[in-house]
Amino acid sequence: MFLDCKKQITKKPNLDEFHMHAHDFYEIYCFLSGDAKYFVEGNIYKLRPGDILFIKKAEAHSLLINSPAPYERIVISFDAAALTDSEVQKVISFFDGLPLGSGNRFPYSMFNDRHWHYYIDKMLSYENNEKKGLYLSVLINEMYECCFDILNIQTEKDDFSNIIAYLNTHLTDALSLDSICARFYISKSQLNRKFKRMTGSTVWEYITAKRLLMAKELLQGGEPPAKVFSECGFNDYTSFFRAYKAKFAAAPKNDFIKHKSTSDI
C-alpha cells in the first residue's frame, strides 16, 4: 500500500525544475496558486486556483510556467491498494480506460458546493494511511460522478498531441527520429524544439520512460526480463537493463522475483 499526501510550494518556479515525467502510481494535484498550465500527454490544461488534476499511471505530464509567480499545490500520490472500497477499484479501472491526456482537469467551478477540499485537508491532517485512504476513496468516487462532464471540457491542442498519440500507439515499434519526422512532415530540429518546449525533455527520454513503465508492469505481471525487453521496443537486453536500473534503482529481475515470491505464497 502506497499513499502520500503533502503540500508543496515553489517560490520562484522555472521550467528546468519541472521536466516531463511519468510513474507507476496515480497522482491527484490540487492547484492552489501560481501562473501556469499543465501538460498531459499532448493536451494542455489551463489552471485556476482550486482546480484538481487526476494523473493516471504511466501518463506523462509536466508544468508549463507562464510567469515566476509562486507555485503552490497539494500532491496526493497513491496506488490502487490504498483505496478502501472495492467499488472505488472499479472507478480506478474506469479512469485507466480513458485515452491518455483525457479528462484530467476537474475545475473548481464544477464542485465549489461540494466538500472535495475538505477531504484533501483531512488527508493532510492524518498520519494514518488507512484514515487517509477513507477520504481518498470518497474523493475519487465524487470525482467519478463529475467525470462525464469533465470529458466535454476542451483542452488546448495542436499537432503535438497527434505526435504524442502516435508515439504511444507505436511504443513497441522500431521508432526513429527519421520515421517520426517523415510521418508528420516536420524536421528533426523542429521536432526537438517543440518537444523540449512542451515537455522539458527530449523525444527519446519520453519514449524510453514510457517503455520502461510498460516493462515494469509486465515484469510485475509475471513476464521474465529476457522476454520483456524486446516486447517493449528495446534492441538488446544490456541497454534495457541499464535504462531500467537508472530509472527504478533496481535490476529488472528484482520486480520479476518480487512477483514470483508474492504469487507463490
Half-sphere exposure of 32 (CA within 13 A, CB side): 15
The C-alpha angle 194, 229, 224, rounded to 5 degrees, equals 145
Judgement on whether residues 78 and 196 belong to the same structural domain of the protein: no
- Domain end position, chosen among 129, 150, 171: 150
Domain at 240, CATH number = 1.10.10.60
Q: β-strands 52-55, 26-33: how paired?
A: antiparallel
Name the residue range of residue 25's domain.
3-150
Last residue of a domain, one of 119, 150, 181: 150
**Is the same domain home to 38 and 109?**
yes
Residues 88 and 118 in one domain: yes
The C-alpha atoms of residue 177 and residue 167 are separated, in whole angstroms, by 11
CA–CA gap between residue 27 and residue 56 (Å, rounded) = 7
In DSSP terms, which residues pair with 73 in a beta bridge? 8, 31
pLDDT, one tens digit per residue, over 146-200 is 877 777 665 656 567 788 888 888 988 988 999 999 988 888 888 888 887 777 7
CATH number for 9: 2.60.120.280
Q: 224 and 146 share a domain?
A: no
CB 206 within 8 A of CB 20: yes
Report the pLDDT value the prediction gives residue 254, as an integer from 0 to 100.
86
The list of the chain residues with pLDDT below 70 reads: 112-114, 152-159, 258-265
pTM of the model: 0.76
- The number of distinct structural domains making up the chain is 2
The DSSP symbol for 104 reads: -
Same domain (yes/no): 127, 164: no
Last residue of some domain: 116, 150, 184? 150
Q: Are residues 146 and 165 in the same domain?
A: no
Q: Provide the β-strand partners of residue 10.
A: 71
> What's the pLDDT at 161?
78
